[in-house]
Amino acid sequence: MNHTTANLADGYLQLQVSEKLALVTAIWDSIAADSAETQAAISLDPAEIAELDRRLAQHQQAPETAIAWEEVRSKLFAEAV
């Protein structure tokens, strides 16, 4: 861990759980937004691809069972406080 990373760690360790979750979400969103770099950095093995395909097929068979991310996030942040 370099000096900058250590300083960041000191800062985020002081955050409340809900603030940490918001930070993780923001970081993940920034990773996902950088699609070219993300695609190069993340590779899935055949088992992971099969699992994603299974989940997609399950969703396509019963899309009404899906829970909106906003609802999941709201419940997650409410429980974290």
CA angle 56, 63, 49 (to 5 degrees): 5
Instruction: Decide: 81 and 17 in contact? Cβ < 8 Å.
Output: yes
In a domain, 3, yes or no: no
What residues make up the domain containing 28?
16-80
Q: Give me the residue label for tokens 């923001």.
A: 26
Instruction: Decide: 74 and 26 in contact? Cβ < 8 Å.
Output: no
In a domain, 57, yes or no: yes
State the total domains in the chain.
Answer: 1
- Predicted pLDDT of residue 13: 85
For residue range 15-59, list pLDDT tens digits in order.
Answer: 888 888 999 999 888 877 777 777 777 778 899 999 999 999 999
Question: What is the 8-class DSSP label of residue 64?
Answer: G
Residue 60 has pLDDT above 80, yes or no: yes
